[in-house]
Structure formats: structure tokens, C-alpha cells
Amino acid sequence: MRRTATRLADDRELIYFDRDGAAGRGVRDTRELPPRPPASEMRHDPILDEWVAVAGHRQTRTFLPPADQCPLCPSAPGRQTEIPAPGYDVVVFENRFPSFSTEPVELSATGALGEVRAGTGRCEVVCFTDDHDSSFSALSPEQVSLVMAAWADRTTELAAIPGVEQVFCFENRGAEIGITLHHPHGQIYGYPYVTPRTRRMLASAERHRERTGGNLFADVLAAERRARVRVVAADEHWTAFVPAAARWPFEVHIYPNRQVPDLPALTDAERDSFGPLYTGVLRRLDAMFDVAMPYIAAWHQAPVRTGRDLSYLHLELFSVRRAPGKLKYLAGSESAMGAFVNDVRPEEAARMLRG
């Protein structure tokens, strides 16, 4: 892998990840861009003991531009984009409209009971390919391995930023999910706190270890591999299964068969075998109703400083589509109370995906 770092016109970092040497990596961004926005404002909710980021500048972010104005495509004569080069394999750059950053911010909340502080962190965009009309499911195994190398590189780099407590790599796909750009891409967040979902998972893992002496995630994986009824795909290094208590109509968790805390800890063999298995699962989702399935793909990694011995890297993949022409909306029970009701039996979802 060849890694080439450069700077955009507003001093944001951009990094090319190439399998081989490539031309155009020295092309400079000559656009006239506005100053970088301030960091978000972090406000603590004392009732739920959760942090909420307030980032008003994100209201002006690019929203579903036509293909010929896509900011994630390579630059072309007469049209400069976020990527100065005329082509690329994988690119990562700082988000122009970040939820968290290292820019200064004037705190404005007054009279609030909870703590208020700067949203110090980092947000990056990951372009999986320069082909605007492609998708992650269409990537070659070699391209997926390169994406994974980029994820691992950025996880290590963002974890080293002072104040970052957790690194989250994810992809939103489909208008039903709420994407703002169609080009195949994902994002990486360097959070200035450990997220509520991760705190809850680690608390469950700690209680499980106290009761049994085992690792909760490893024990869940072992149980699913024994039962097999919810396993969708598996190979020497990975297992994909529908969790027994799936919240979403079509939800698949993908675990390495070996406990590791994060993406940088994977071996080359584990990275190389992930692509064929994962893209196969994505193609199964697309074939379910013969439409491009909207989904969220979320990597659960160990926090930077806490709970690393309890953590177990895994990917959570789920779709809001429950049937042809029907979506699962988070209405009263799910949104207000966090109490999920799933319309599709997990065993049936696994059977449909295997078929």
C-alpha cells in the first residue's frame, strides 16, 4: 500500500491510499474555500447521562447534488472537487462540515444544569472508490482490503489525538437512511467521549465476566456458531449471523473468529478474507427484494483508554427496509422509550438471507 498525505485549500488533511504508484497525487487544491467552521458545542444531558453535540454549521452541508456536481468524484478540467487528483483508489479527508474538530469554539449555553464544553475531536470522509456509480458490494477483495487498511490507519491516527476517546468507522447507504451524497463513501468519527451504546455494551460485558469469567462477545459468537440456525455466512476468519434479539428487520453482525479490540489488530489474512464474505452478505441484502437495500454498517471498536480487555471488534449491519415498499420507522415505542419491536423473526431473516 502507498500512502500519500496532502492538504486541501482550507488546510484540511487529505490522504490517498493506493495499491500501486499513481499519478496526480501532487495536484494541489486551488479552490477558494471559506474558513473552517468552529468546533461543535458539547452539552451534557444530566437526565440520561449522555453527551449531545450541537453543530449548527452542519445545516449548510451539501445535500444530494446531481452526479456531475458530486464533491467526492475526482477533479476534472474545469471542475474541482474535494479530491484534487484525476483518479484514486481510496481517499480519506477531513470533513468540511464536521460534528467534531480541533477548531476553537465560543461556548454559548447558559443556565443549563449539565456541563458544556468544546466538541474536540475529528470527522473524516472515506471514499471507497472513484466510481460514482459503484457500491461497496461491488468492490473487489483487493479494494476492500485497501479500505480496511485505511480504516486501520485512521483508527490509529485519530486515537492519538488528545481528547479523542473512541473511533467509529461507519457507512450510511441509501436515501431511506438519510444520506446526503450518493457516491460510495463512509465516515470516521473521533468522539471526545465513549458513546452511550458502547458504555452499555461494556457494562454488560463486565457483568458477564464477573458471573462467568468469560468474554460476552466471544460467548455470543460461540453460541451462534453452535446453533447455526441464524448464521448467514462463515469462513476461517469471520462469522456473519443474525443476532437472536435483532432489533431491525434485517440485521447481521459480523465477528472475527478471534477476539481483537479494533481494526488495527487484525492480521493481513483476516483483512483479506473479510472482503469476499462481507460483500457477499451485502449482495444477499440487495437480492432480498431485488432493490438496492438501504443500510447502516457500523464498526464497534474498543474505546481508546477504557474497556479494551472487554471489547471485541465486530461490524453491525442493518437495514430499515422490512418488506418491498415498506420501511421500519422508529415510532413511539422505539424513539421515545428505546423499546424495540421487530416485525421479522431473526431465524426467518437468516433463512431468507441464506437463500
Catalytic residue at 57? no
CA 182 to chain centroid: 16
**Is residue 301 within 8 Å of 155, Cβ to Cβ?**
yes
- The secondary structure element, H or E, covering residue 298 is strand 295-300
Residue 85 sits at the vertex; the CA angle it makes with 66 and 175, to the nearest 5 degrees, is: 30
**Is 300 among the annotated ligand-binding positions?**
no
**Is 183 among the annotated ligand-binding positions?**
yes
| 294 vs 71: CA distance, rounded Å | 21
Residue 283 sits at the vertex; the CA angle it makes with 278 and 287, to the nearest 5 degrees, is: 150
**Is 123 among the annotated ligand-binding positions?**
no
88: Cβ contacts below 8 Å, ≥ 6 apart:
16, 18, 22, 74, 127, 130
DSSP per residue over 198-267, as a string?
HHHHHHHHHHHHHHHSS-HHHHHHHHHHHH-TTEEEE-SSEEEE--TT-SSSEEEEEEESS--SSGGGS-
Selecting among 44, 57, 182, 185, the annotated active-site residue is 185
**Is 132 among the annotated ligand-binding positions?**
yes
Which residues are identified as catalytic? 185
Residues within the annotated binding site for Zn(2+)?
A: 70, 73, 132, 183
Residues within the annotated binding site?
A: 70, 73, 132, 183
